[in-house]
Amino acid sequence: MPVVVTGAAWTTPLGSGLEAVWRRLLAGEHGFVELPSPHRLRNTLAAVVPGGGHEAPAAERLRGLAVTTLRDALADAGLPADGARTRFVLGTSLGAFLDDDGEREAPLHHWADAVVEALGAKAAPVVLSTACSSGSDALLVGAECVRAGLADVCICGGVDVLTPSKRLAHSALSTLSPSRTRAYDTRHDGMLLGEGAAFLVLESAAHAERRSARVLARLRGVGSANDAASMTSPDPAAAGARLAMERSLTDAGIAAAGIGLVNGHGSATPVNDRAEREAFRSVFGPSGGPLVFATKGAFGHSLGATGAMEALALILGLREGIVPPIVGLEQPDPEFPCPLSVGAPTRHAARVGLSVTLGFGGFDTSLVFEVPR
């Protein structure tokens, strides 16, 4: 059963409107600001949602960000929240769990129950936490729910907020850059954290056709794998990432040569960048291949939200025929096998693209989208 995207919304460090944020991405802007910390960190830069009220409890901010962005996604699709066959699939990388004593005493799905209650939804949400792949995996699960006939509509994606524990943990792990995010650059030395939310409305093509819905894209294929190399580092041979991409291509029914655009994970940690490089070489060949861009240099690494934000950026890039430059990339890795968007927006003719996410614990997810011609 074909699955289509009929609505979407995001809340990012560059704002919330789809077109407004896209214009800022094309201009090479970023959302990083100095965010003081009581702890000694490798870097105090972070990409924060404007007006995010960081003095409020993390759990309150997480729920508020999710509700606002979900309402925008539903409005974009022209759908109510309380449809009888509408489900919500919500992902986060532990959300506020590590920083809020009250949240640690509640079930891990407590935040999502509060979100759908605020929206007036009838069905309980599906909730998942697969580290940095949470937003991507929410889309994968939602697509399978629609395909299996468990729902006509699934609103899927991820949300995450900056918290002291996340900043301190990534600083201690040395995954936090002491300088800036430079994905696929010879000087890459880590990522910088961000926050945000993104949700996509998935429908069966038949349901969308019955209500004459606008179709933004088709979710052609999904794939996942787990390399389980360590709690934090990916398999250097990138077996999991390669397998996830291959599974998504098989599910989509297309060859690797049919992919014209990729939104890469682009975390800018040396181990992740190398793993992606090897995965792209294995799937697309040693040279040529699809155009690759990445958005963490602009949005920061928003953990559980990042996969959904990047899937939406891929859809916009496919629809507009142009993608933003990779912020921070100035000296591309000479061994990278695919062309990169460097220095300025890059035009392309692709209509089919892939979004890949590599999460802690080896959670690798790949999504294939196609936009109407």
At 138-194, the pLDDT tens digits run 999 999 999 999 999 999 999 999 998 889 988 888 999 999 999 999 999 999 999
Helix, strand, coil fractions of the chain, as percent rounded to 5: 35, 25, 40
Q: pLDDT band at residue 231, thresholds of 50, 70 and 90?
A: low
Q: Is the pLDDT of residue 43 over 70?
A: yes
Q: pLDDT band at residue 252, thresholds of 50, 70 and 90?
A: very high
Q: Is the pLDDT of residue 104 over 90?
A: no
Note whether 91 and 308 are within 8 A (CB): yes
Note whether 286 and 277 are within 8 A (CB): no
Rounded CA gap, 304 and 128, in Å? 10
The residue-averaged pLDDT of 42-52 equals: 91
pLDDT at res. 152: 97
Residue with tokens 């990047």: 310
pLDDT at res. 230: 64
At 55-94, the pLDDT tens digits run 788 889 999 999 999 999 999 999 999 999 999 999 999 7
pLDDT at res. 109: 82
Of the listed ranges 89-103, 123-137, 331-345, the least confidently predicted one is: 89-103
Q: pLDDT band at residue 100, thresholds of 50, 70 and 90?
A: low
Q: pLDDT band at residue 233, thresholds of 50, 70 and 90?
A: low
Q: Does residue 131 or residue 344 have the better pLDDT?
A: 344
pLDDT at res. 176: 93
Q: pLDDT band at residue 106, thresholds of 50, 70 and 90?
A: confident
Amino acid (one-letter) located at 308:
A
Percent of the chain at pLDDT exceeding 70: 96
Q: Is the pLDDT of residue 213 over 90?
A: yes
pLDDT at res. 359: 86
Q: Is the pLDDT of residue 270 over 80?
A: yes
Q: Does residue 38 or residue 186 have the better pLDDT?
A: 186
Q: Is the pLDDT of residue 361 over 80?
A: no
Rounded CA gap, 32 and 192, in Å? 9
Note whether 160 and 303 are within 8 A (CB): yes
Q: What is the pTM (predicted TM-score) of this model?
A: 0.96
At 281-321, the pLDDT tens digits run 999 999 889 999 999 999 999 999 999 999 999 999 999 99
Q: What is the sign of the dihedral through the CA atoms of 348, 313, 342 and 259? A: negative
Mean pLDDT of the chain: 93
pLDDT at res. 105: 64
pLDDT at res. 360: 80
Q: Which domains does the chain have, with CATH numbers?
A: 3-210 (3.40.47.10), 221-370 (3.40.47.10)
